[in-house]
């Protein structure tokens, strides 16, 4: 068996194209969707992510309101900026790039964002809407995973989905989305307290790895014919690479391809979908306003 590789880059391009068409229609009516991206400090991964978001904003025709703040900025200054963005009617979405420096309370910053502009889907109001199946912004990475499953034609109804990882950003919300009636999967969440992880992952029709541990999911942990979604993005040293490292996922990709029926690569898998769904959420925020 050789798995079908799900090309998240192509699927994300299709999402961005649909968003761009709707943005053009809104602009013709005098509404310019705008996303404010706030970056604190110079974390290399965060700088790279923000650059990708800015590129996507330009591609879909949205207004880009970027703020790059020094890592020494105070929590009070950051909260004041968020307050001003909340009050600005020309700004439809606000995204504060995580992680933040240790002297800033991330939870307080997330709480400060107007839920109507919470295009990351991290505010407790957004999370609550997700839990009780009310309309609201869905977190971008989990939403992107669901979109990839649908695009690949992977049946979720009645499937046993195993999510390895329980983060607030990916694991927990993805488990909730998979359990929704639209997906109707039976969901198991695994984490550091899970006993005999391989025995559970081998039961999965859909296996999602979201732990941030390079190649943790090996081929012998995968049920033959399963769909494997790799959310992990890890830097590993590679002297042959130009920059001295390369990106790998949480799944040992090549051996897994010989067992799974579908698999997402790293890069060009889930990553591009995260930004595409951010564009979709920002579009929706503009339409809501």
What average pLDDT does range 18-32 have in this prediction?
A: 97
Look at residue 43 and tell me whether its pLDDT is greater than 90: no
pLDDT number for residue 65: 94
Look at residue 207 and tell me whether its pLDDT is greater than 90: yes
From 118, 120, 230, 250, active-site residue = 120
Residue 196 is assigned to a structural domain of this protein = yes
Are 187 and 267 in a shared domain?
Answer: yes
Are 207 and 89 in a shared domain?
Answer: no
pLDDT number for residue 1: 62
What does the mean pLDDT of the chain come to? Answer: 96
Tokens 């790293």 — which residue?
266
Are 75 and 144 in a shared domain?
Answer: no
What average pLDDT does range 74-88 have in this prediction?
A: 98
pLDDT number for residue 243: 84
Q: What is the C-alpha separation between 156 and 159, in angstroms, rounded?
A: 5
Tens-digit pLDDT profile for residues 100-120: 999 999 999 999 999 999 999
* 233 annotated ligand-binding residue: yes
Residue 248 is assigned to a structural domain of this protein = yes
DSSP string over 110-159 = HHHS-GGG-TTS-SHHHHHHHHTT-S-PPPHHHHHHHHHHHHTT---TT-
pLDDT number for residue 9: 96
Are 101 and 150 in a shared domain?
Answer: no
Instruction: Indicate which CATH number applies to the domain containing 185.
Output: 3.40.50.720
Look at residue 175 and tell me whether its pLDDT is greater than 90: yes
For the chain, the domain total comes to 2
From 27, 55, 88, 97, active-site residue = 97
- Confidence at 45, pLDDT banded by 50, 70, 90: confident
Whether 120 is catalytic is: yes
Residue 104 is assigned to a structural domain of this protein = yes
- Confidence at 44, pLDDT banded by 50, 70, 90: confident
Structure tokens at 114: 């107007």
pLDDT number for residue 99: 93
Look at residues 76, 136, 85 and name the one whose alpha carbon lies nearest to residue 108.
Answer: 76
Tens-digit pLDDT profile for residues 120-148: 999 999 999 999 999 999 999 999 999 99
Q: What is the DSSP letter of 195?
A: S
Please indicate whether residue 247 or residue 127 has the higher confidence score (pLDDT). Answer: 127
* 165 annotated ligand-binding residue: yes
pLDDT number for residue 193: 95
Are 36 and 145 in a shared domain?
Answer: no
Residue 288 is assigned to a structural domain of this protein = no
Are 147 and 110 in a shared domain?
Answer: no
- Confidence at 241, pLDDT banded by 50, 70, 90: confident
What average pLDDT does range 284-289 have in this prediction?
A: 94
Are 87 and 196 in a shared domain?
Answer: no
Instruction: Identify whether the C-beta of residue 207 lies closer than 8 Å to the C-beta of residue 222.
Output: yes
Weakest-pLDDT range from 15-19, 227-231, 235-239:
235-239
- Kind and range of the H or E element at 264? none
- Confidence at 238, pLDDT banded by 50, 70, 90: confident
Whether 172 is catalytic is: no
Whether 53 is catalytic is: yes
Q: What is the DSSP letter of 275?
A: H
Are 169 and 257 in a shared domain?
Answer: yes
pLDDT number for residue 235: 86
Domain containing residue 55: 30-114
Q: The pTM is what?
A: 0.94
């Amino acid at each position: 068996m050789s798995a079908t590789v799900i090309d998240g880059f192509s699927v994300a391009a299709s999402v961005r194209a649909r968003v761009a068409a709707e943005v053009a229609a809104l602009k013709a009516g005098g509404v310019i969707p705008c996303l404010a991206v706030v970056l604190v400090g110079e974390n290399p991964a965060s700088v790279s992510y923000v650059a990708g978001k800015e590129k996507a904003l330009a591609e879909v025709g949205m207004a880009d309101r970027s703020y790059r703040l020094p890592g020494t900025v105070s929590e009070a200054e950051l909260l004041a900026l968020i307050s001003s963005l909340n009050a600005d009617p020309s700004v439809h979405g606000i995204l504060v790039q995580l992680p933040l420096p240790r002297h800033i309370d991330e939870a307080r910053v997330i709480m400060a964002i107007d839920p109507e502009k919470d295009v990351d889907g991290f505010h407790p109001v957004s999370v609550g809407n997700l839990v009780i199946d009310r309309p609201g912004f869905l977190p971008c990475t989990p939403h992107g995973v669901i979109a990839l499953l649908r695009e690949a034609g992977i049946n979720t109804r009645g499937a046993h989905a195993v999510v390895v990882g329980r983060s607030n950003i990916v694991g927990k919300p993805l488990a909730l989305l998979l359990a929704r009636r639209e997906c109707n999967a039976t969901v198991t969440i695994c984490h550091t307290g899970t006993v005999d992880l391989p025995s559970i992952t081998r039961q999965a029709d859909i296996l999602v790895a979201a732990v941030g541990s390079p190649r943790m999911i090996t081929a012998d942990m995968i049920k033959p014919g399963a769909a494997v979604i790799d959310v992990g993005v890890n830097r590993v040293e590679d002297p042959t690479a130009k920059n001295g490292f390369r990106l790998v996922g949480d799944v040992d990709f090549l051996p897994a391809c010989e067992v799974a029926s579908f698999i997402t690569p790293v890069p060009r898998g889930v990553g591009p979908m995260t930004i595409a769904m951010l564009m979709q959420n920002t579009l929706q925020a503009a339409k809501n306003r």
